[in-house]
Structure 1
Amino acid sequence: MDWERFARQTAAMSHDLLEQDTVAGTLERIAGSATELVDGCDAAGILILRDGRVETLAVTGPLAEESHRLQERLQEGPCFDAARLRGGERVFRIENMTALQHRWPSFAPRAAELGIGSMMGFLLFADDANLGALNLYSRLPGRFTDTSETVGWVLASHAAVALSSARNQAQLTEAVATRHVIGEAMGILMARHHIPEDDAFNVLRRYSQNRNVKLGVIAREVAELGALPPVG
C-alpha cells in the first residue's frame, strides 16, 4: 500500500465531501471512493436497516444493490449480524463466498451466484431500531486484506459522520415542527375555551396521557379539527 498516495487521495476525497450539497451526494461520493481507494473493491454500498427492511442510500452499481436486497429477502448476512451486534463486532469480512459458510449458509452461496467473491461490511451506527452499514464487494475471493480493512474504516468514519449529521438534522426538524403544531393547538384551545396558555398546555398534556398518545399527535389532531378530538 502506497500510504503517501493514499493520504493524498483521502485529502482530495475529504475536500470533495465538503463540497457536496446533500447527505445523499456525500454518501454517493464515499461509495465511489471505496472503489478507488480500497484495493480489490469492485462495488460498494451504504444502507440503513430498519426493522428487517433494507433502505439503500448509495451504491456504485447493481452488484451492491442486489446484495442488499438478498440480505433483506433472506433476513441473513453480515448486515443482520451487525444489527444484532453479535460478539460486539463492528466489521465483517467474508474471504470466499464459495467456501462453506456456517455463519451465513443461505446468504453466501446466493451471493456467489450474484458474482460476489468476497466482501467486507462496516457498522456505521446501531440503535434500538436502525443500523447503518458500509459494504464493500469484490468479484474475486481473498481480495480484502488488513490494509483494505484499515482503508475501509477511514471511509466508514466519513459515512458515519454524514449519517449522524443527517439524523440530528432530521430530529431537529421534527422537534421544531412538533413545537409549532403544539403552539397552534394551544392557540385554538385558548381562543375556543377562553383559557390562559398554561391551562391550554395542561389540557393537551392530560389528553395525551389519558389516551396514551404522544403530545404532538394530539396537538396535530386539534390543529386539524379546530377542537379536541372525541374520546374513544
Structure 2
Amino acid sequence: MSTPTDYEELATRLAHMARDLLQQKSVQDTLDRIVEYAVQLIEGCSDAGILVLRKRQQVETLATTSDRVRESDRAQGEEAEGPCFDAANGGAHIYRIADLSESQQRWPRYAPRVRELGYGSMMGFLLFTEQDNLGALNLYAPQPSAFTERSEQAGWILASHAAIALSSARTEADLHTAISTRQEIGEALGIVMERHKLSESQAFDKIRKASQDNNTKLREIAHHIIHTGETPGAS
C-alpha cells in the first residue's frame, strides 16, 4: 500500500522530469528522455516506447528503450490492430491491459506476437494537447497484472507533462527551421540578383519557378544556389 511519503517522492521526481524535458536540445532528445523516465518512474514498467500512426495506417516508432518494443510496434503495423489503432479510431486515451494472454479475442493477430516477445501486460497513454495529437506512450511489463491503479495515475501525470514538453520541443524546432529557411532564401536571392542583375522580386520569381519546374521545395532550391551559384533549370 502506498504512503503519503511515496506520493510526495513521486511528485518530486515528476517535477524534476518536467523541468528536465523542457531543457532537452532536440525533439528526439525529448522523446528519448520520456521513455527513459517512464521506466524509471512507473511502477511495474520494464520497457517503454512512443509511436505514432501516420497516414495510411502506418506505424512509426519514435523512441524506445529496447528492440522488443520496436518489434511490438512493427507487429501492430503489420497486423493493423492493437492499442494504437484502437486509440486512433476513437478509443480511450488511456488503456491498461492486465493480461495479454486474455487479449487474443480483441487482437487475434497482435496479442500472440507481443506475448512471444515476453510481455505479459501493457499500459498506454495518448500524448496530446489541445492543439496536437503527438502519438502514444506504451508501457510494457513481463508479467501479467504488473500495472496498478497507482501506475496508471503516475503514467497519466507523466504523459501529460511529456505531451507539453514534446509539443514545446516541436514548436521550437519548427521555429528554428523557419528562421533557417528564411535566411537561406535571403542569401540565395542575393546571389541570383547579383548574378543575373535582377530586382529582388524578379529573383524571387526565378527561384520560385525553379522550385515549381523541378518539383522541389523552395528551401532546397535556395540551398543548391548557395552551394553552387547556379539556379536549377535557369538559362
Q: CA deviation at 1:123?
A: 1.4
2:96 is paired with a residue of what secondary structure? strand
Residue 42 of structure 1 pairs with residue 46 of structure 2: yes
Q: Percent identity?
A: 46
Distance 1:217 1:148 in 2: 47
Counterparts of residues 157-196 of structure 1 (less than 5 Å):
157-196=160-199
Q: CA deviation at 1:191?
A: 0.7
Q: Alpha carbons of 1:58 and 1:113: their partners in 2 closer, same or farther (altered >3 Å)?
A: closer
Q: Alpha carbons of 1:43 and 1:228: their partners in 2 closer, same or farther (altered >3 Å)?
A: closer
User: TM-score with structure 2 length normalisation?
Assistant: 0.77
Counterparts of residues 17-36 of structure 1 (less than 5 Å):
17-19=18-20, 21-22=24-25, 26-36=30-40
CA RMSD of aligned residues (A): 3.1
Distance 2:158 2:40 in 1: 11
Q: Any gaps of 5 or more consecutive residues in structure 2?
A: none
Q: Deviations over 1:165-212 (max 9, x none)?
A: 321232122212211221122112111221222322233234445665
For residue 7 of structure 1, what is the aligned residue in structure 2?
8
Residue 54 of structure 1 pairs with residue 60 of structure 2: yes
Contact in 2 for aligned 1:50/1:131 (Cα 8 Å): no
Distance 1:109 1:3 in 2: 39
Residue 108 of structure 1 pairs with residue 108 of structure 2: no
Contact in 2 for aligned 1:45/1:134 (Cα 8 Å): yes
1:93 is paired with a residue of what secondary structure? strand
Q: Alpha carbons of 1:87 and 1:143: their partners in 2 closer, same or farther (altered >3 Å)?
A: same
Q: CA deviation at 1:109?
A: 1.2
Q: Any gaps of 5 or more consecutive residues in structure 1?
A: none
Which of 75, 82, 85 is 1:77 aligned to? 82
Distance 2:96 2:140 in 1: 10
Distance 1:228 1:25 in 2: 36
Q: Alpha carbons of 1:103 and 1:224: their partners in 2 closer, same or farther (altered >3 Å)?
A: farther
Aligned pair count? 225
Distance 1:102 1:143 in 2: 21
User: TM-score with structure 1 length normalisation?
Assistant: 0.78
Distance 1:77 1:100 in 2: 10
Amino acid across the alignment from 1:107: Y
